[in-house]
Chains A and B, each alone.
Chain A
Amino acid sequence: MAEYRLRTPVTEDQVRKLKVGDLVYLDGIIVTGRDQVHRRALELAAKGEKDKVPVKLEGMALYHCGPIVGKVDGEWKVYGFGPTTSARMESVEADFIKEFGVRLIIGKGGLFERTTQGMREYGAAYLAYPGGVSVLATSAVKRVVEVHWLDLGVPEAMWVVEVENFGPTMVAIDSHGNNLFLDVLNSVRRKAEELKAKL
């Protein structure tokens, strides 16, 4: 189990080094995106209008997060920056990685078979952050750089946020086909069948 401190954007080589169980701390820019960002960005990609996505995502860390924000003296201030449930993005995340070249996905609760395959193919990793741990996450926020697609509402907009020493996050899916969440779930499913058979 290794520990890394990475600055975004990251390269494929950096991501391929990460193995499940490693701890990662991040510096630099991370971009939030959840259900509606995925939907809109992939719709634009499907129409051949990828350049209309307002942030260059190549090598970036995409964070499944809908922050709490407020405006103080005309500047955005973040009051909550914990992760949302990644599973909702399972059906689209592999496509998103392929289309936009993001290298790190941060979230909670993990992603599953399709994304694991996509991460292996295109070179990306999933970093798990404990769910609900919002105050600790917020303490790593330096500033909101910009926000796009605010018409989607505060939680669903694309927040471009500068962080310092964001973490620890744990590599739960690496680019070599390993997925800690699926390992646990597979053993849980077996155990559940045993338990039910004994009732």
Chain B
Amino acid sequence: MTNLRDSIVDGIVRMMREAAFNVPRDVREALVKAYEVEDNPVAKANLDAILRNIDASGRLRMPMCQDTGTPTFFIELGDDFPIRSEVRSVIEEAVRKATVEIPLRPNTVNPWTGENTGDNTGRFVPIVHVDLVPGDQMRVMFLAKGGGSENTSKIYMLSPVLGVKGIKKAVIDAMVDAGPQPCPPIIVGIGVGGSADLAIKLAKKATFRRLNEPNLDPKLAELESELLEMINSLGLGPMGLGGRTYALGVKIEWAHKHPASLPVGISTQCWAFRRAEGIFDRDGSLNLVLPP
């Protein structure tokens, strides 16, 4: 059991390290494209700095952003995976180790006393969502979420009478309110339906879908394109200093809902998308899922 535990801890540290040093390929490609189509010199200079920073981060193996985020995990845990209720303590151990080894900035603070725990763990942190699934593997989706882009998250509890038009307006309002703050170009996750908490969780999870993967539902794929065009037409641009690209992609996820409610959760993800996905086999070995 000890070796298995160590091997999972090491695997999670490896995922966290790769996420800290490497922007996913689909995000980098979208940023390059944004640079190529940009004609605003300030926007172009900002995108150039971002791209050079991404290359330097990968080359020097230094965290791309000084805000190394709140460690967040979406876990699909197989019924027959050998570690089950221990999963949280394994992840906590990995986070403590990663904080020293990478190194990460200590970002876990008591809201009442202001005390920083120093190791990125604390009450309910790391944030771990677990779904039980059939099988003997454990799939881990890791996100190091920066404070700047988390602060511009939104939950709207719309009147169902407003329908899709209301959702579009809410998205526009959320972007205007976010303005330069979430480190654009951003990825916009939208969770529609469910409840207040589920909508925002779906929104965050939706940002994991690759930028080059449209929604499987053609109607929603069309809505994603329409919203992306609408958001970028506002003219906020990279870093909110004007230009063509404020958002690299819009990703929608949804759930059925109460007749009286229309929850719309919006999650904003900065360009420095510290994302990693991996599958652990029952012997603890990790297969990293690389972007297509």
Identify B105's interface contact among A80, A133, A137, A188, CB under 8 A. Answer: A80
A154 within 8 A of B: yes
Task: Let me know if B183 and A108 touch, CB within 8 A.
Answer: yes
Scoring B residues 166 to 188 as 1 if CB is less than 8 Å from chain A, else 0, what string do you get? 00110011011001110100000
Query: What band does the interface of chain A fall in when counting residues whose beta carbon is under 8 Å from B?
Result: 35 or more
Is B234 touching A131 in the complex (CB atoms < 8 A)? no
Spot the interface stretch: B44-52, B201-209, B258-266: B44-52
A184 close to B67 (CB less than 8 A): no
With A131-B148, A195-B172, A195-B233 known as contacts, the answer to whether A181 contacts B56 (CB < 8 A) is no
Contact A130 B57 (CB under 8 A): no
Instruction: Please state if A135 and B60 are interface contacts (CB–CB under 8 Å).
Output: yes
Of B115, B242, B270, chain A has the most CB atoms within 10 Å of the CB of B242
Measured in the bound complex, the distance between the Cα atoms of B60 and A137 in whole Å is: 13
Q: Are A82 and B67 in contact (CB under 8 A)?
A: yes
Is B8 engaged at the interface, CB distance under 8 Å to the other chain? no
Q: Digit string of B53-88 for contact with A (CB within 8 Å is 1, else 0)?
A: 100110010111111100000000000000000000
A135 touches B270 (CB 8 A): no
| B20 nearest CB across to chain A (Å) | 10
A185: B residues at CB distance < 8 A: 176, 179-180, 240
Shortest C-beta distance, A174 to chain B (Å), equals 14
User: Shortest Cβ distance from B102 into chain A, in angstroms?
Assistant: 8
The answer for the CA separation of A131 and B181 in the assembled complex, in Å, is: 9
Taking A188-B234, A191-B235, A192-B234 as contacts, is the C-beta distance between A135 and B64 under 8 angstroms?
A: yes
Residues of B within 8 A of A132 (CB): 50, 53, 64-65, 67, 146, 183, 270-272
B143 interface residue per 8 A CB criterion: no
B106 within 8 A of A: yes
Enumerate A128-172 residues with CB–CB distance to B below 8 Å: 128, 130-139, 152-156, 168, 170, 172
* Interchain CB contact under 8 A, A199 and B148: no
Q: Which of A68, A85, A170 makes the CB contact (< 8 A) with B151?
A: A85
Q: A39 CA to B176 CA in the complex, in Å?
A: 28
- CB of B111 within 8 A of chain A? no
Q: Chain B nearest CB: distance from A110 CB in Å?
A: 6
A70 to B106, CA, bound (A): 11
Pick from A80, A155, A168, A184: contact of B106, CB under 8 Å: A155
Chain B positions near chain A (C-beta within 8 angstroms):
42, 45-46, 49-50, 52-53, 56-57, 60, 62-68, 103-107, 109, 114-116, 118, 146-148, 151, 165, 168-169, 172-173, 175-176, 179-181, 183, 230, 233-242, 270-272
Besides A135-B57, A135-B60, 9 more A-B contacts (Cβ < 8 Å) are A68-B103, A79-B66, A84-B147, A84-B148, A135-B56, A153-B115, A180-B241, A195-B172, A196-B169
